[in-house]
Structure 1
Amino acid sequence: MKILIAEDDVVTLKVLEARLKRAGHQVESSIDGIEALKKIEVYQPDLVITDILMPYSSGLEFAGEVKQNYNIPIIILSGLHQESVIVEAFSLGIDDYITKPFSALELVSRVNRLCNKVESIYFSSL
């Protein structure tokens, strides 16, 4: 599956890219939500992973824009643990929320679960 990651922390971004590629996914990345929105048109990802705290556009703004204009599952990966933020994210329609620090193995499992959902919806529509 094609995954777009929007994450401004370079270390976290590199860990995510390496782990997801090792799991067999194609990965494109961006360091902010504005750049990520531009990449969606070109890259056409099957799944988006985004942080909330990013420059120029918050991950919540980015996720809301994606959900409003595209049918793409979104996982938020954030250091924000506040219930109000998590509830707001789910109200925007995100598909999963993982708090940092995170387990790379758990993240890959959640990605694979969502990718399997996307594949089954795609193939059932054929």
Structure 2
Amino acid sequence: MTKKKIVLAEDNSTLSLLLKFRLEKEGYELLMAEDGRKALDLIEKETPDLILTDIMMPFVSGLEVISHIRLKLDSDTPIIVFSSAGQEEMVIKAFNLGANDFMGKPFSPNELIIRVKRLLN
């Protein structure tokens, strides 16, 4: 059975590494991007099974990542969005653009894993 591929777009390297470690322990293959531009490159090259993206990132925002996936790539790959508190407007935009799920930071990696499994099964 091939591992499910997840692209993680997150500019906080501490959080990225923590999530990479936890998700790989669950048997997923993690592809890391520290900004939205790199995330889009990875998504186009690797066609992941799931995308995790922060909303606020350098160069290309998480919102732009979502709209690129849904409109340009015409893909329905599940997307989970992260956002810091107080960004309610961004979260609503993310859902309107086609995000499947949302987690406010800081969040529990265990909860993330449950949500990832739910979207991938």
Shared fold (TM-score, shorter chain, > 0.5): yes
Instruction: Work out which of the residue numbers 45, 49, 55 in structure 2 matches 1:52.
Output: 55
The corresponding residue for 2:28 is 25
Q: Over aligned residue pairs, what C-alpha RMSD do you find? A: 1.0
Q: Which of 99, 102, 105 in structure 1 is aligned with 2:104?
A: 99
Structure 2 portions without partners, runs of 5+: none
Tell me whether 1:78 sits opposite 2:86 in the alignment: no
> What SS does structure 2 have at the residue aligned with 1:18?
helix
Once the 2 structures are TM-superposed, how far is the Cα of residue 80 of structure 1 from its aligned partner? Answer: 3.9
2:117 pairs, out of 112, 117, 120, with 112
Who wins on radius of gyration, i.e. which is larger? 1
> Please, what TM-score do these two structures have when normalized by structure 1?
0.88
> How far off its partner does 1:83 sit?
2.4
- Whether the 8 Å CA contact 2:9–2:54 is kept in 1: the answer is yes
Extract unaligned runs of 5+ from structure 1: 117-126
The percent of aligned pairs where both chains have the same amino acid is 42
Which structure features the higher share of helix residues?
A: 1
Give the partner amino acid of 2:43.
I
TM-score between both structures, scaled by the size of structure 2: 0.91
The 2-side partners of 1:5 and 1:53 are apart by 13
4+ runs deviating over 3 angstroms = none
Paired positions, count? 116
